Amino acid sequence: MSVPDVSIAQKIARYTLIGLLVVLGAWMLQRFLPALCWAVVLAIGTSSLYDRWLAIFQGKRRHIWAALTFTSIVGIVVIVPLVYGGIVALREAISLDSTNRLWSIW
């Protein structure tokens, strides 16, 4: 089976289109990449804990249940302190605003 001849213009157009698609994909992901990097750090940091957690589970669908419960626990451990910190910051902002210190700067 022979490969059909492709002209130089078609090759240039193909590589230009591939380059544009790569640049467009990188541009679309630029705000997502920091979160993805933190997810990789979290996954590497908790991999040994997950291996021990997986050993607890038995049965056919043990990977599903282990992943579901471990993700939930890690999510709670990460999210709850952030929510608590947000509530404390909001209370502080309200107490500052009640004395008009917050808006008197402007």
Q: Is residue 61 part of a domain?
A: yes
Number of domains into which the chain is organized: 1
Q: How far apart are CA 100 and CA 105, in angstroms?
A: 9
Q: Is residue 71 part of a domain?
A: yes
Amino acid making up residue 6: V
pLDDT, tens digit, 9 for 90 and up, residues 52-103: 999 999 999 999 999 999 999 998 998 999 999 999 999 988 887 666 555 5
Q: Is residue 3 part of a domain?
A: no
Q: Is residue 2 part of a domain?
A: no
Q: How far apart are CA 15 and CA 64, in angstroms?
A: 41
Residue 100: both structure tokens together: 């008009």
Q: Look at the pTM and tell me if it is higher than 0.85.
A: no
Residue 86: both structure tokens together: 């947000």
DSSP 100: T
Answer whether 55's CB lies under 8 Å from 66's CB: no
pLDDT, tens digit, 9 for 90 and up, residues 2-38: 567 778 999 999 999 999 999 999 899 899 989 989 9
Q: Is residue 32 part of a domain?
A: yes
